[in-house]
């Protein structure tokens, strides 16, 4: 994308949002390395941290943390795979996205509370969702590992700035709270700690349903 188009996209955006736009849109070559992957990662952490999402979740759900101690609060974070405006495969071969989802799950003695915030790192656009479910109404908690194909911007080798679009298969992780006629789905990056928290959540659901 040429500099005029990038400048137009940056108009009216914050400094952090402009940096994200440059990361995805600037051409790269010997004379222009573009925004480093590490700067993007720091920018993402900075923007998400500034939102204070755990407190925002408690406020939106109208609960106090003392009310939701059945299991430790769970925070799931992952790319908004399908709704991201931009996707880039970095020089470290890590896929990066312009939008991410952060989900908090809390459990009281009789209910499960879920709050989700989708942040677009390149704009002020956001999406919030807050739900509460009684244990008796929840069908199950499900973790889904899938493979999907998305279009990514990939920098070609050589000194001449050049970027091409490639379709790349990506392993996606999704967590779902299933209730009759509906489901609360959220993106996540799975690891051993997250899997342990999800197993604790499933155990709590079995305990409540068998009580």
Q: Which residues pair with 107 in a beta bridge?
A: 112
Instruction: Name the pLDDT band for 2 (thresholds 50, 70, 90).
Output: confident
Domain boundaries along the sequence of the chain:
3-210
The C-alpha R_g of the chain, in whole angstroms, comes to 20
175's tokens = 């967590």
Q: Cα–Cα distance between 117 and 78 in angstroms, integer?
A: 11
Q: What is the pLDDT of residues 23-40, one digit of tens each?
A: 998 877 666 678 899 999
Q: Work out whether strand 163-179 and strand 182-187 pair parallel, antiparallel, or are unpaired.
A: antiparallel
Q: Cα–Cα distance between 62 and 58 in angstroms, integer?
A: 6
- The label of the residue with tokens 């991410």 reads 100
- pLDDT for 28: 72
Instruction: Name the pLDDT band for 3 (thresholds 50, 70, 90).
Output: confident
Q: What is the pLDDT of residues 71-80, one digit of tens each?
A: 999 999 999 9
Closest C-alpha among 64, 85, 74 to residue 20: 85
Q: What is the pTM of this model?
A: 0.91
Q: Cα–Cα distance between 24 and 50 in angstroms, integer?
A: 22
Q: What is the pLDDT of residues 40-50, one digit of tens each?
A: 999 999 999 99
The helix-helix angle for 37-50 and 15-25 (nearest 10°) equals 150
């Amino acid at each position: 994308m040429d500099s005029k188009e990038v400048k137009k996209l940056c108009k009216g955006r914050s400094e952090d949002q402009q940096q994200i736009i440059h990361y995805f849109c600037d051409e790269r070559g010997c004379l222009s390395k573009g925004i480093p992957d590490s700067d993007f990662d720091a920018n993402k952490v900075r923007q998400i941290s500034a939102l204070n999402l755990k407190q925002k979740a408690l406020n939106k759900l109208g609960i106090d943390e003392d009310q939701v101690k059945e299991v430790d609060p769970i925070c799931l974070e992952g790319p908004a795979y399908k709704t991201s405006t931009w996707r880039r495969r970095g020089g470290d071969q890590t896929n990066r996205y312009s939008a991410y989802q952060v989900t908090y799950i809390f459990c009281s003695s009789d209910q499960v509370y879920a709050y989700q915030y989708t942040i677009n790192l390149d704009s002020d656009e956001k999406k919030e969702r807050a739900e509460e479910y009684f244990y008796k109404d929840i069908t199950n908690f499900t973790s889904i590992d899938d493979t999907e194909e998305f279009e990514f911007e990939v920098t070609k080798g050589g000194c001449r700035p050049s970027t091409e679009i490639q379709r790349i298969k990506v392993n996606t992780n999704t967590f779902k709270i299933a209730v009759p006629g509906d489901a609360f789905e959220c993106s996540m990056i799975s690891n051993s700690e997250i899997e342990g928290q999800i197993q604790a959540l499933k155990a709590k659901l079995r305990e409540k349903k068998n009580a």
